[in-house]
Each structure stands twice: as structure tokens, then as C-alpha cells.
A and B are shown apart, each in its own frame.
Chain A
Amino acid sequence: KQEVTQIPAALSVPEGENLVLNCSFTDSAIYNLQWFRQDPGKGLTSLLLIQSSQREQTSGRLNASLDKSSGRSTLYIAASQPGDSATYLCAVVLASNDYKLSFGAGTTVTVRA
């Protein structure tokens, strides 16, 4: 069974600081990995999707890396803003079971103005 762990569970930083969010998974035979953002009381917003053949994806201030062999992904958010405050979740899909996402518990980020 795929286990997905996100560390830290919560993070508080001053505005302008770079954010580093970690995600690890136990089964490296993944199909893809996806990072989501969830605001309180809202659904999930897709941030970045990394296919198994890729090593990173970038979108604006966001950059996500993927190291399949070590079972790790890192989400970097540059020059954080108060609007970045949310819970960030990573999810992986196994290559052998390419429809079921296994989610981490998330990292709750607070960016202080």
C-alpha cells in the first residue's frame, strides 16, 4: 500500500521568505505526482502535475521536483505572500493502479504579513 508523508505538518513564515514543502512516498513505481492547494472550506486546486518521466515542473513562483528513486518530491514557493496561506497536499498515482490518488495529510502554511 502506498504511504504518502508530508513534512512539516504546519509551517509559519514571514512574507517574502521562500517556502519548502516536502512529500515522500513508499512505492517508487508511480505514474505521476500532483501538488494541490486547499483553502479552508474549499475544494482542491491543482498546482502542478509531474509525470513519472519528468524531474520537475514550474509555474510562476512554484517549482516542484521529483526524485522517484528516493521517493521524494519538493514544492518550492518563492517570495511567499500572505495569499499563499493554505494547506498544500501532494498525491501520487501508482503505475500499476493508475487511477487512485494516494494523498498525504498536507502541510498547512501561514505567511505572516
Chain B
Amino acid sequence: GAGVSQSPSNKVTEKGKDVELRCDPISGHTALYWYRQSLGQGLEFLIYFQGNSAPDKSGLPSDRFSAERTGGSVSTLTIQRTQQEDSAVYLCASSSYRGLDAGELFFGEGSRLTVL
């Protein structure tokens, strides 16, 4: 597709379950970002990938959160043993990181996670 694609768009899970959120960036974009937007809160940086490497994981809230990226393309954000405070919209963005518009981020529609 032409834009950043995220799935699922909505996920309702029970406390304690694991969830996986997927992001398919714009083709050719080397940089990929995960952000979290909680109700009434601003956007919170989680993790950044350059290719398959994650130079900065400092934004991940706890060790229950992990992310990987394979083939320099699709990324998966995994939340283990979900808690109610994990409920939020998880947004993925990608960037070409080169050229005149280097650094311009393009966001997906987000994955809305609700933990009951």
C-alpha cells in the first residue's frame, strides 16, 4: 500500500494476556517509530528502528514491552501480561531519513488496545 499500515485496528483483551501489534511501513522507509497515545495524554515515544536495529529502546514503559523489525520492513510490538494501564492507541510511523524531506514522519491509523 501507499501508506503505513497497522493491524489490528482494534484489540480488546483481558488483563494478563499477551498482544501483538503489527506495523507495515511505507516501502523503502528505513526508519520506523512506535508511539503511544493514551486518553487525554500527548504522544509518548516508545522505540525507534533504523533498519532492523533499535538504537533507542528507552521509551518502552517496562520489560513487558518488546519490539522487533525484520527485513528492514514489518515491525511487531509485543506486550506481555497486559495491564489496564496499557490501554491506549499505539501509533506507528515511518520515515525515509534521506532527501529533502528527510525526517518527515508518516503515521498509520493506529491500533486501539483496550485491556479489560
Contact = CB atoms under 8 A, between A and B. Distances in A.
A104 B4 CA distance: 22
B45 to A, nearest CB: 5
Given A44-B91, A99-B33, A100-B48, A106 B42 contact: yes
Interface residues of B, number: 25
A45 interface: yes
In the complex, which range does the number of interface residues on chain A fall in?
A: 20 to 34
A44 B105 CA distance: 9
Contact of A42 (B42, B59, B106, B109): B109
Contact of A101 (B6, B45, B56, B110): B45
Interface of B: 4, 6, 31, 33, 35, 42-43, 45, 48, 50, 55-56, 59, 91, 93, 101, 103-110, 112
Nearest to B108: A43
A37 B65 CA distance: 28
Contacts, number: 56
Given A43-B108, A99-B33, A93 B103 contact: yes
A46 B109 contact: no
A43 B104 contact: no
A99 B110 contact: no
A12 B31 CA distance: 36
Contact of A31 (B42, B56, B103): B103
